Structure 1
Amino acid sequence: MHNMFRRFESEIEHRGEIIVIGLGRFGSSLSRSLVDMGHEVLGVDLDPANVQAHTGVLTHVAEADTTNDQTLRQLGVADARTVAVCIGADVEASVLTTVAVSDLGVPNIWAKAMTEPHGRILSRVGAHNVVFPEAEMGTRVAHLITGRMLEYIALDDDFVLVELAAPRSLVGVPLGESNLRRDHQVTIVCHKPDSGLFTHTDRDTVLSAADLVVVAGRREAVDAFSRSNSTGAD
């Protein structure tokens, strides 16, 4: 399985307006979330309907062909610190836009890839970070659809966080006495009591049957732990 998220350069602290190019499902969700977080966002798309849908939602919107470097200069991309290229099915436009943004010297370029080869090309032409949202969602849903997991987050190819109902084998036992790491090679990093808020766990934490827990560990170990506890195995 390929990495669903790749970071190629050192982390760059963002300042100023964020430019999101491509306002399809992913770009729309990203740009709206950034606005909700308090950032100014310029959304750019070639489709006038997408632009109209984000007017008044994003800080600024523009209808433009972003494969043209002169157009990007007119939009102020050359002065931007962070640009996210979220163009979907049009791989050629995605690559050409990333090249143009890179040629303008933007120091923090994120790009959405549809496939592994697409991602490799994006990284070679200037993207500092590449994400694979479709692949990530497919993997996440595959784990959630079985009903054992309530949430699933892959931090890399082989380390995950999952949210589960408290395993019956751990209810009523201080976590320090459960031998969880020795027997299952996983760690419960936090828990949410019934009608409470998530809080960290320690050796003295005692889970109840109504608790939710967040388990961290290698993918194979977490999957095995989830399977064994879904049937009430100790």
Structure 2
Amino acid sequence: MAHFTVIGLGRFGIAASLELIHLGHTVTGVDLDPKIAEKYADNLTQMVICDASDEGALRELDLNSSNVVLVAIGEDMEASLLSTLALKNVGVKNIWVKASSKAHHTIVSKLGVSRIIHPEEEMGIRVAQALNYPMVNNYLSLGHGLHVVEIPIKEKLNGSTIGQVLKDLRGSVDAILVKRGPTKFTKLGHDFALLTNDVLLLCGTRAELQYLAPRLI
């Protein structure tokens, strides 16, 4: 279990906070609006009404006990930048920032934060991948041209082996894991037989996965 601080509880910030709570972590929510603080006080581990651009106020929050501080103030670029700068000045090491534009990204990148997030852009890419690969449930880019996709096994592939599904792509596309109900299989030989409703995780380049796609529809 880790502890996170989320600054700015708009739609993005509260969604991230509640999901972290759901995953078993603890979350301190920080927002300037008392109405928002009151609304989510019972949902988060701790709720603080605070101007996150005020270094003095931030020093009272013991932010270095957080694994990550997420600045989720994407809509108000000035407030986001001032909060990020204040976090750097009080010595917070691991800062993630939501950026709402290229200009926002450019300025934040000069502050030396750990990660810059573009939620709308990243979601747009995920939607495009879902449209391009309708058989894919989830899609994750690993960088360096590699992607992981989650594929539900349809009835036509029932009984097919990993080797039969991958065929000429063996060694290029890797079968990482098969989920079968509550059970997971990670040691997947070429003779591992797939069953209807299994979920298969594959890793490969976009071109290789696209080449494979017609077999999985």
Shared topology, TM-score over 0.5?
Answer: yes
Q: Distance in 2 between matches of 1:221 and 1:116?
A: 31
Q: Determine which of 173, 176, 201 is the counterpart of 1:214.
A: 201
CA contact (8 A) 2:7 2:13 kept: yes
Which residues in structure 2 correspond to 1:133-172 (within 5 Å)?
133-145=119-131, 147-156=134-143, 158-166=145-153, 172=159
TM-score in terms of structure 2 length: 0.83
Residue 105 (1) aligns with residue 91 (2):
yes
Contact 1:86 1:111 in 2 (8 A): yes
Contact 1:192–1:212 (CA<8 Å) still a contact in 2?
yes
**Residue in structure 1 matched with residue 47 of structure 2 by the alignment:** 61
Q: Distance in 1 between matches of 2:183 and 2:85?
A: 45
After the TM superposition, which parts of structure 1 deviate over 4 Å for at least 4 consecutive aligned residues? 78-81, 167-171
Corresponding letter in the other structure for 2:60: Q
Please give the secondary structure, in 1, of the residue aligned with 2:58: helix
Inter-partner Cα distance in structure 2 for 1:87 and 1:45: 9
Provide structure 1 residue ranges, at least 5 long, that are not aligned to the other structure. Answer: 1-13
**How many residues of Structure 1 are paired with residues of Structure 2 in the alignment?**
215
CA distance in 1, matches of 2:106, 2:32: 25
Describe the shift of the 1:210–1:61 C-alpha distance in structure 2 as closer, same or farther (beyond 3 A): closer
Corresponding residue for residue 204 of structure 1: 191
- How far did 1:183 drift? 6.6
Query: Contact 1:164–1:214 at 8 Å: present in 2 too?
Result: yes
Give the direction of change, closer, same or farther, for the CA distance of 1:164–1:178 in structure 2 (3 Å limit): closer
8 Å Cα contact 1:81-1:107 kept in structure 2: no
The structure-2 alpha-carbon separation of the partners of 1:145 and 1:48, relative to structure 1 and needing over 3 Å to count, comes to farther
Give the gaps of 5 or more residues in structure 2: none
- Matches of 1:79 and 1:36, distance apart in 2: 20
C-alpha distance in structure 1 between counterparts of 2:83 and 2:215, whole Å: 48
**Is contact 1:167–1:229 with CA below 8 Å preserved after alignment?**
no
Matched, 1:132 2:118: yes
Q: Measure the CA separation in 2 of the matches of 1:64 and 1:178.
A: 55
The residue identity in structure 1 corresponding to 2:120 is E
Residue of structure 2 equivalent to 1:30: 16
Number of the residue aligned with 1:189: 176
Quote the Cα distance in structure 1 between the aligned partners of 2:8 and 2:102: 20
Question: 3-state DSSP class of the match of 1:198?
Answer: strand
Query: Offset of 1:178 from its aligned partner?
Result: 5.4
3-state SS, counterpart of residue 39 of structure 2: helix
- Matched residue type, 1:186: V
TM-score, length-normalised on structure 1?
Answer: 0.77
Which structure has more RCO (C-alpha within 8 Å, separation ≥ 6)?
A: 1
Instruction: Please give the per-residue CA displacement for 1:186-209, whole angstroms capped at 9, x wherever unaligned.
Output: 22222234x553322222201234
Q: Percent identity over the alignment?
A: 32
Whole-angstrom CA distance in 2 between matches of 1:57 and 1:153:
29
Which shifted more, 174-183 or 111-120? 174-183
In the superposition, relative to structure 1, how do residues 77 and 211 fare at CA in structure 2: closer, same or farther (>3 Å)? closer
Partner of 2:30: 44
Report the Cα distance in structure 2 between the residues aligned to 1:96 and 1:172, rounded to whole angstroms: 58
Q: How does 1:68-83 map to 2 (within 5 A)?
A: 68-77=54-63, 82-83=68-69
